[in-house]
Amino acid sequence: MIDEKLVPLLMALADDELVLGYRDSEWTGIAPLLEEDVALSSMAQDEIGHARMFYEMVSGILDKSPDSIALGREPSGFHHCRLVERPRGDWAYSMARQFLYDAADGVRLEMLTRSTHKPLALGVAKVIREEKYHRMHGESWIGKLAHGTDESHRRLEAALLQLWPDLPGFFEPVEGEAELVKAGVLPEPFSALLPRWWQVVEPVLARHGLHGPNLGLNAFSDHSGYGGREGRHSEDFVKLWNEMTLVYGVDPEAVW
Amino acid sequence: MEDQAQIDEFKARIDAGGKVEVGDWMPEDYRTRAIRFIEMHGNSELMGALPERDWILRAPSLRRKLALTAKIQDEVGHGQLLYRVAEDLGKPREAMLEDLIAGRTKFHNVFHYPTRTWADVAIIGWLVDAAAIVSQTALRSSSYAPYARTMTRICWEEAFHLKQGEDAVLTLMAGTERQKEMCQEALNRWWGPLMHMHGPNTPAERDGDLAWKIKTKCNYDLRQEFLATYIPKIREIGLEVPDPNMRHDQATGSWLYTEPDWEELKTVVRGAGPASQERLGFRRFNYEETRWVRDAVLGSASVAA
């Protein structure tokens, strides 16, 4: 398999982590509790670190530096799902997104450990260890907010409903997916992960009384939240992109 | 009514280099001063996160973004540690945060100024941290032992921040003409606040914190120490110190400089600095916006953040 064919997959993995890492770091300095401030900064660093690992793999293929890959693209050159580019919202939105994303990322990473592309399979093993803590963190907040006050319960439900239409976009196929599956780089198509994701998420939501006709696999409409993997993003991302490339864009050739 | 003999005995113990632990008897003046001093230090760590956090999103490389996020994480962690020390002396975290956002307590002058460019972040990371380390290193011998111990840990982490800041400055100074200009402009902007940072030259005998050895070096000496180490370094890397009177006086061994505008310092720390109200407003807004989270996890009776 030609390495170039791996690029859209690696970019999707890297960009998801990069953009979510940016969103998490928006809580740095202003989180509801000092302990959580420290925790979110730490998770943001993990995510940027994971993104860097995937960019380094791309860097080896395209012969460009990881920074120029990360920061030197137009918004339409990014392949993250729309779920991660939404603004951080309130604490309920951020925590619910973290939980749903980490559950999805967990099943994705598990699949990638079976990839025939060895550097990828080995790389994700390390990521899995860190992501496990993120999922525990998100899951504990689902419980805290569900059983906290009426307001926290109401906000959590509203967050989940708001997030729901974006979720299928996580499982949107990447460019050249059929070929990647054929070569075993992707052991399965992304759409096969959706039921496994729900097996992780459903018991947690049920345990905390968070269910209903609008929260479930049946509530997903076809291709809802799609576009991200093809580089079609919302205004939210364009705003974020303007910020994240502000200094880099002063002189992309310079060393910062 | 405090017993004068007991106070005298306490003072004698401090003067002889004795340390105070949280459960020890202490004069009210000592307790009040220790709380105020440590609380302001904690406030400064938390407020110091704000000017830098604006640049996390804008950091120009993955490495710088990671380093800056880690640095701010440390600072918030320091704020948390310092608040715990002050809490043990009798002021709850909630009260400290409420006083901070209401503008009733103070934080360091440097965090009342805006950050204009990436070079500001570099200069803060190098020189503001360097100036802070000079003070904090001296505080490792504070008479209040829990504070002294906390400072030992904080200084260890600050040393990494300083390296990162220095590296960011060196990178700019080895870069393009535009980058060098940015760096010099940032130094010019931060010079005044840097010279204010250790405070006015209050005579030692009129400094109550010094008398109780809550702090151990006078403001003048701290500033001299900072200048002695950093003026040569600043010049060596090709930056110009924006004070034509800055020079080392061979006769006295001390650094001579243009006397800073101490009125400006007073105005700034009272909350009338160029970015004071914006920063406090931002913290107040976020504190209110997230109150429901604290109510949910700590119970509505407690609003401690």
Rounded to a whole number of angstroms, the distance from the CA of A245 to the nearest CA of chain B is: 6
pLDDT band for position B1 (50/70/90)? low
B 145-204: CB under 8 A from A: 171-172, 174-176, 178-179
Per the DSSP assignment, residues forming a β-bridge with A203 are: none
Tally of CB atoms within 10 A around B149: 15
Looking at residue B183, its pLDDT comes to 98
pLDDT over 50 (residue B38) = yes
In a domain, A154, yes or no: yes
Three-state DSSP state, A222: coil
B101, B87, B97: which is closest to B38 by C-alpha?
Answer: B87
pLDDT over 60 (residue B300) = no
Three-state DSSP state, B200: coil
Distance CA A106, CA A163 (A): 18
The residue-averaged pLDDT of B111-133 equals 97
In a domain, A69, yes or no: yes
Per-residue pLDDT reduced to its tens digit, B230-285? 999 999 999 999 999 999 999 999 999 999 999 999 999 999 999 999 999 999 99
A46 and A102 Cβ atoms separated by less than 8 Å: no
Looking at residue B2, its pLDDT comes to 82
- What is the dihedral sign for C-alpha B215, B221, B227, B228? negative
- Domain B4-298 superfamily per CATH: Ferritin, core subunit, four-helix bundle (1.20.1260.10)
- How many domains does chain A divide into? 1
Rounded to a whole number of angstroms, the distance from the CA of A110 to the nearest CA of chain B is: 26
Within 8 A by CB and 6+ apart from B24, the residues are: none
Per the DSSP assignment, residues forming a β-bridge with A212 are: A215
Rounded to a whole number of angstroms, the distance from the CA of A181 to the nearest CA of chain B is: 31
Query: Which of A51, A67, A145 comes nearest B296 by C-beta?
Result: A145
Would you call B174 and A255 a contact, using CB atoms and an 8 Å cutoff?
A: yes
Contact residues on chain B for A52, CB-CB shorter than 8 A: 62, 66
In a domain, A255, yes or no: no
Three-state DSSP state, B248: strand
pLDDT band for position B299 (50/70/90)? confident
Distance CA A80, CA A100 (A): 15
Residues of chain A below pLDDT 70 = 1
Looking at residue B228, its pLDDT comes to 98
Rounded to a whole number of angstroms, the distance from the CA of A182 to the nearest CA of chain B is: 33
Which uninterrupted H or E stretch holds B210? helix B208-211
Looking at residue B128, its pLDDT comes to 97
Which uninterrupted H or E stretch holds B255? strand B254-256
Instruction: Supply the range of the domain harboring residue A123.
Output: 3-250
Looking at residue B296, its pLDDT comes to 97
- C-alpha angle B67-B150-B59 in degrees, rounded to nearest 5: 15
pLDDT over 80 (residue B79) = yes
Would you call A151 and B295 a contact, using CB atoms and an 8 Å cutoff?
A: yes
Q: What is the mean pLDDT of chain B?
A: 95
Q: Are strands B247-249 and B254-256 parallel, antiparallel or unpaired?
A: antiparallel
Contact residues on chain A for B49, CB-CB shorter than 8 A: 28-29
Looking at residue B32, its pLDDT comes to 97
Per-residue pLDDT reduced to its tens digit, A1-24? 678 999 999 999 999 999 999 999
ipTM score of the complex? 0.94
pLDDT over 90 (residue B205) = no
> What one-letter code names the amino acid at B108?
H
Share above pLDDT 70 across residues of chain B, in percent, rounded to a whole number: 98
Would you call B178 and A91 a contact, using CB atoms and an 8 Å cutoff?
A: no
Tally of CB atoms within 10 A around B198: 23
The residue-averaged pLDDT of B187-212 equals 94
Looking at residue A1, its pLDDT comes to 65
pLDDT over 50 (residue B106) = yes
In a domain, A80, yes or no: yes
Query: Which of B53, B73, B174 comes nearest A42 by C-beta?
Result: B73
The CATH number assigned to the domain holding A79 equals 1.20.1260.10
CA dihedral B36, B41, B47, B52 (to 10 degrees): 170
Contact residues on chain A for B279, CB-CB shorter than 8 A: none
Distance CA A199, CA A214 (A): 17
Would you call B296 and A151 a contact, using CB atoms and an 8 Å cutoff?
A: yes
Report in angstroms the alpha-carbon separations of A74 from A67, A151, A255: 14, 40, 20
Per-residue pLDDT reduced to its tens digit, B159-182? 999 999 999 999 999 999 999 999
Give one word for B158, left, alpha or beta, with left for phi > 0 and alpha for psi -120 to 50: alpha
pLDDT band for position B302 (50/70/90)? very low
pLDDT over 50 (residue B304) = no
DSSP string, A112-156: HTT-SSHHHHHHHHHHHHHHHHHHHHHHHHHHHHHTS-HHHHHHH
B30 and B6 Cβ atoms separated by less than 8 Å: no
pLDDT band for position B303 (50/70/90)? very low
Would you call B305 and A243 a contact, using CB atoms and an 8 Å cutoff?
A: no
